[in-house]
Amino acid sequence: MFNKSMLGRDTCRLLVERLQELKPKVAVEFGSGFSTALLALYSDTLVSLENSVKYAAPWPCVRICKIEAGRYVTTLPDGVEFVLIDGPIARRYGRQETLPQVWPHLASNYEVWLDDFKRPHEKQIVRAWRNTYPIQVQRVNTAKGLAIIRPA
């Protein structure tokens, strides 16, 4: 059931624990899959963005969107309390535009999870975000690495 392109078991376990605590009213997911089911279970409203039918989870909250200039072509709700970034495919599109895309829609108590934080690309993205946005970053040692981003 788990494959190398999806969240690892350890991250899924942490995600469920955190979502049970937070119970976000509005969540946004960049990249759909198994995590979509978890987010849908614990969020009042979920918008899951996917650019490929191949990877899209079969849930009504999943929007298949084109990507232009690194951003999913869609609108986002306001008051986003939780964001999971596990897409788009980093080697094809990169994930650097995910935080800028959701930034104007974040609630004051937001939390953003960036998967694959052990990869150089994701580390570089977070360095750039830290220079642009007032954020604090917590590194979590999971199999693929996880960055948890909160307001500074």
Task: Band the pLDDT of 5: cuts 50, 70, 90.
Answer: low
Q: Is 108 helix (H, G, I), strand (E, B) or coil?
A: strand
Separation of alpha carbons 137 and 65, rounded Å: 28
**pTM for the whole thing?**
0.94
Separation of alpha carbons 4 and 43, rounded Å: 25
Please write the tens of the pLDDT for every residue from 91-135. Answer: 667 899 999 999 999 999 999 999 999 999 999 999 999 999 999
Q: Are 99 and 150 in contact (CB under 8 A)?
A: no
Structure tokens at 63: 């929007």
Q: Give the list of residues 6+ apart from residue 16 with CB closer than 8 angstroms, or none.
A: 38, 42
Separation of alpha carbons 130 and 117, rounded Å: 14
Return the pLDDT at 17. 98
User: To the nearest whole percent, how much of the chain has pLDDT over 70?
Assistant: 94
End-to-end CA distance of the chain: 37
The full set of domains in the chain, from first to last, is 9-151 (3.40.50.150)
Average pLDDT over residues 28-43: 94
Q: Are 128 and 95 in contact (CB under 8 A)?
A: no
Please write the tens of the pLDDT for every residue from 73-102. Answer: 999 999 999 999 998 876 667 899 999 999
Please determine, for residue 4, whether its predicted confidence score (pLDDT) is greater than 70.
no
